[in-house]
């Protein structure tokens, strides 16, 4: 499927099979447009009084699909209905044109995004799937062309993120993931990879310890982007957990954990974020750090009770080998000190306990900068993504202390949603602003919803992008 912008109400030469119109307190304007451009003089009286969300009207060469929003016509309902529309038309085999007439740029962006996200289903690993070659055209006036084209690109990258996160670990591993990033990253972004020998030399031992049981080599992928910056400008450092598969190590997970191929989703979101920063030519200085490991069991794997010296020389007792994500993020956060960042944002799937009290509706956020947290929460509202701010009191930090080392990586389930952040706070460079985002409750859906097919969501990518587009004054 290829998606385009158009400012032609009718694309006769494009062989459109389905024209889509949204009835949203604008029924007279839509009828007038159809009468003017399509020559349709009358509609069945009962048709325009439909209580269905989607209603079709068939002609010899094409069909109309109407979205009847009725009174519930707002930012959120349009986002949801266009996600449902994308899913509804994902198997449609002819070209589609979608007529947009909203005036709010953010609403338009979300309509386009949600449609494209709704069409995506992970079918790449099936042997006999028919590829549907069709074009989708979004119509609006020239005023909104850039908004629509950018929304198309953002959704395309988010679907790439979802594909990566859904990819099996025997296909997408430490090595092949690095190759994918090198092949697909924007040309205006520099890439540097710290291999295992460099990690050892630098003392990034927490990253190395998580990967000890794997046959694949650990690495830290660095992506750097600069545009219109002064020599004195400091970067924003973005860090994403990249555990290609997580068995839990010797604290092995129970039941079906085939979804743990998705434990690298935070790194794929940060990769996607950098790709969009490059595509949009954002002014600023950004560095992404992607620690890439695989948490496996073998004779070489880390044991419960091991004590590891981290990059910043703090010693960490491994009390839980399944609390590995915070270890690789901790070393990456500490390592970022060399770049003298003005802000660090780390992203992970660390606290599965968040699902217990937030369901699959929201992730969590905490940190040492209320200003940036509030900005990001505002961005979330605009993008139909949800985060709940958690406290990080000194009492939580006290719980991260070990009896035999400086710190321990797990506190036995106490304050499970907060403790990963409390642990990571011990590695933040002095006088640096920092936020920690946990998406363990929103990174994956296990059943098809009315808006999306099951699998990875890529959630929080769009809100982080909007935050990067703002001028963050520290």
Residue 280 CB-density burial (10 A; 0-12 exposed, 13-18 middle, 19+ buried): middle
CA–CA separation, 340 and 390 (whole Å): 26
Q: 14, 55, 234, 253: which one is catalytic?
A: 253
CA–CA separation, 61 and 50 (whole Å): 23
Angle, CA of 390, 393 and 394, to the nearest 5°? 155
Q: 241, 326, 452, 462: which one is catalytic?
A: 326
DSSP state of 429: P
DSSP state of 330: H
Q: Is residue 162 annotated as part of the catalytic site, yes or no? A: no
Q: Give alpha helix (H) positions in 225-313.
A: 265-279
CB 131 within 8 A of CB 249: no
DSSP output for 123-176 = -TT-SS------EEEEE--GGGHHHHHHHHHHHHHHHHHHHHHHS-TTTS-HHH
3-state secondary structure of 316: strand
Q: Is residue 32 annotated as part of the catalytic site, yes or no? A: no
CA atoms within 13 A on the CB side of 387: 28
Residues annotated as catalytic (active site), given as ranges: 253, 326
């Amino acid at each position: 499927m290829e998606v385009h912008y158009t400012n032609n109400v009718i694309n006769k030469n494009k062989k459109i099979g389905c024209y889509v119109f949204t009835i949203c307190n604008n029924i007279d304007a839509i009828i007038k447009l159809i009468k003017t451009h399509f020559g349709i003089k009358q509609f069945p009286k009962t048709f325009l009084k439909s209580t269905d969300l989607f209603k079709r009207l068939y002609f010899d060469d094409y069909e109309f699909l109407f979205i009847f929003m009725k009174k519930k016509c707002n930012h959120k309902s349009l986002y949801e209905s266009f996600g449902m529309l994308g899913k509804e038309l994902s198997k449609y085999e002819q070209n589609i044109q979608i007529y947009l007439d909203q005036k709010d740029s953010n609403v338009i962006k979300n309509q386009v995004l949600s449609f494209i996200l709704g069409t995506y289903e992970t079918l790449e690993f099936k042997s006999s799937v028919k590829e549907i070659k069709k074009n989708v055209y979004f119509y609006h006036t020239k005023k909104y062309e850039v908004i629509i084209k950018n929304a198309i690109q953002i959704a395309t990258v988010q679907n790439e993120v979802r594909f990566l996160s859904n990819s099996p670990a025997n296909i997408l591993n430490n090595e092949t993931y690095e190759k994918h990033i090198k092949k697909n990253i924007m040309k205006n972004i520099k890439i540097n990879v710290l291999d295992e020998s460099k990690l050892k030399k630098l003392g990034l031992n927490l990253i190395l310890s998580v990967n000890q049981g794997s046959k694949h080599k650990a690495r830290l992928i660095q992506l750097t982007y600069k545009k219109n910056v002064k020599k004195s400008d400091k970067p924003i450092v973005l860090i994403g957990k990249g555990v290609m598969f997580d068995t839990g190590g010797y604290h092995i997970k129970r039941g079906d954990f085939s979804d743990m191929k998705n434990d690298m989703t935070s790194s794929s979101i940060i990769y996607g974020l950098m790709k969009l920063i490059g595509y949009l030519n954002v002014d600023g200085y950004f560095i992404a750090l992607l620690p890439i490991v695989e948490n496996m069991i073998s004779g070489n794997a880390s044991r419960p009770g091991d004590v590891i010296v981290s990059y910043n020389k703090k010693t960490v007792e491994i009390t839980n080998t399944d609390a590995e994500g915070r270890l690789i993020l901790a070393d990456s956060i500490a390592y970022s000190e060399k770049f003298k960042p003005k802000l660090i944002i780390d992203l992970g799937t660390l606290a599965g306990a968040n699902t217990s009290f937030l369901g699959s509706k929201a992730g969590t956020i905490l940190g040492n900068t209320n200003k940036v947290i509030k900005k990001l929460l505002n961005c979330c509202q605009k993008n139909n993504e949800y985060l709940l701010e958690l406290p990080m009191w000194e009492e939580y930090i006290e719980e991260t202390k070990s009896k035999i080392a400086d710190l321990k990586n797990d506190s036995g389930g106490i304050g499970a949603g907060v403790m990963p952040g409390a642990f990571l706070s011990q590695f933040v460079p002095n006088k640096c602003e920092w936020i920690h985002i946990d998406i363990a409750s929103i990174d994956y859906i296990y059943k098809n919803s009315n808006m999306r097919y099951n699998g990875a969501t890529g959630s929080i990518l769009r809100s982080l992008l909007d935050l990067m587009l703002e001028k963050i004054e520290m």
